[in-house]
């Protein structure tokens, strides 16, 4: 996620330096050479602390800011061509979305909202969208804020991904006569975690498909910090608390493993058996925590699967089964 940072106050730095100078001069007038040295050193350290913290937070912001992935050129689009929409979301921002409707509406199986992962965009899920569309589903693929062609915002986070899924669902209910049809949410990675968070707060979602979701953001950050050999205690712990402060939510309150048990509809957990980004153990924890969760372990990694065509068929069959055997 991106983080919003502020420069340390120049008055703070100046005051710290002044403290050191006053201590240095005062101790010199009194003839205390050692005290003068300690006072000066302490003042310099006080001045450097905010600078070091600022540089560290700038590095953290750069590392956790998703780069915008470009959509493919229009010449690369396969028929049917999706309609392009702007959907209002939180903070007076709008989302870019691709919409694949069905005609006539009466024959549709329902509507699926597909949410991409961190640093991605809706076009990454277009192969799955086209397969679902061919089977009779209407499909909406929004770009989350700070991703793709959607508006930028002060930061991106799991809760804001969930807010953008909410915005997409609310747009469908207001504009596409969706209330009489099934609403399904499918997400990948952080988009899957957001789908779980979103569905745990709504009663109009009929099914959730979670692909490569993590169980808890605390462990995600631990694995990320370990890549840089940053010790979790105390540095990593402080980083996580800072991120919680920025996004305005405690990790425990938004963690998929904490939210999945609140979902009243069926949940399909799709996870690759060679996922090195989010271990399969996360899917096992989610399955055990979910009242209506089913685990589909498939051959593949975090972002790709060995036989996607078979996976699409398995997901479609599961959706049909949940329709016939509603919880």
* Tens-level pLDDT at each residue, the chain (327 residues): 444 334 444 444 455 555 555 555 555 555 556 555 566 566 666 666 676 666 766 766 676 678 899 999 865 556 688 999 999 999 999 999 999 998 876 678 999 999 999 999 999 999 999 999 999 999 999 999 999 999 999 889 999 999 999 999 999 999 876 666 899 999 999 999 999 999 999 999 999 999 999 999 999 988 888 888 888 888 889 889 988 988 999 999 999 999 999 999 999 999 999 999 999 999 999 999 999 999 999 999 999 999 999 999 999 999 999 876 654
Helix spans in the chain (H):
10-29, 33-63, 126-134, 158-175, 190-199, 217-227, 237-247, 251-254, 256-259, 280-289, 308-324
Count of Cβ atoms closer than 10 Å to residue 244 Cβ: 17
Does residue 305 contact residue 311 with C-beta atoms inside 8 Å?
A: yes
> What pTM, to 2 d.p., does this model score?
0.84
Does residue 104 contact residue 165 with C-beta atoms inside 8 Å?
A: no
Burial of 95 (0-12, 13-18, 19+ CB in 10 A): buried
- Residue 79, sorted as left (phi over 0), alpha (psi -120 to 50) or beta, turns out to be beta
């Amino acid at each position: 996620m991106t983080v919003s940072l502020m420069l340390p106050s120049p008055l703070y730095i100046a005051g710290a330096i002044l403290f050191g100078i006053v201590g240095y001069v005062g101790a010199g007038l009194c003839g205390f050479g050692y005290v003068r040295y300690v006072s000066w050193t302490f003042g310099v350290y006080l001045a450097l602390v905010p600078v070091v913290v600022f540089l560290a937070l700038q590095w953290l912001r750069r590392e956790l800011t998703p780069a915008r992935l470009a959509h493919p050129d229009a010449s690369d689009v396969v028929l049917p061509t999706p309609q392009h929409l702007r959907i209002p979301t939180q903070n007076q921002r709008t989302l870019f979305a691709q919409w694949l409707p069905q005609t006539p509406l009466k024959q549709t199986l329902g509507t699926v909202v597909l949410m991409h992962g961190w640093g991605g965009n809706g076009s990454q899920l277009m192969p799955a969208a086209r397969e679902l569309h061919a089977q009779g589903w209407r499909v909406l693929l929004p770009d989350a804020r700070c991703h793709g062609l959607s508006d930028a915002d002060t930061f991106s986070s799991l809760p804001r991904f969930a807010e953008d899924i909410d915005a997409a669902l609310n747009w469908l209910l207001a504009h596409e006569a969706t209330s009489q049809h099934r609403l399904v949410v499918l997400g990948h990675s952080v988009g899957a975690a957001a789908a779980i968070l979103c569905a745990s707060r709504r009663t109009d979602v009929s099914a959730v498909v979670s692909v490569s979701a993590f169980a808890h953001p605390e462990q995600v950050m631990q694995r990320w910090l370990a890549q840089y050999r940053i010790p979790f205690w105390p540095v990593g712990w402080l980083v996580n608390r800072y991120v919680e402060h920025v996004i305005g939510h405690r990790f425990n309150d938004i963690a998929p493993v904490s939210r999945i048990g609140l979902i009243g509809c069926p949940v399909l957990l799709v996870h690759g058996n060679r996922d090195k980004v989010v271990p399969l153990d996360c899917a096992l924890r989610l399955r055990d925590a979910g009242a209506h969760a089913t685990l589909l372990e498939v051959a593949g990694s975090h972002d790709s699967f060995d036989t996607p065509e078979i996976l699409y068929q398995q997901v479609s069959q599961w959706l049909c089964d949940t329709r016939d055997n509603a919880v």
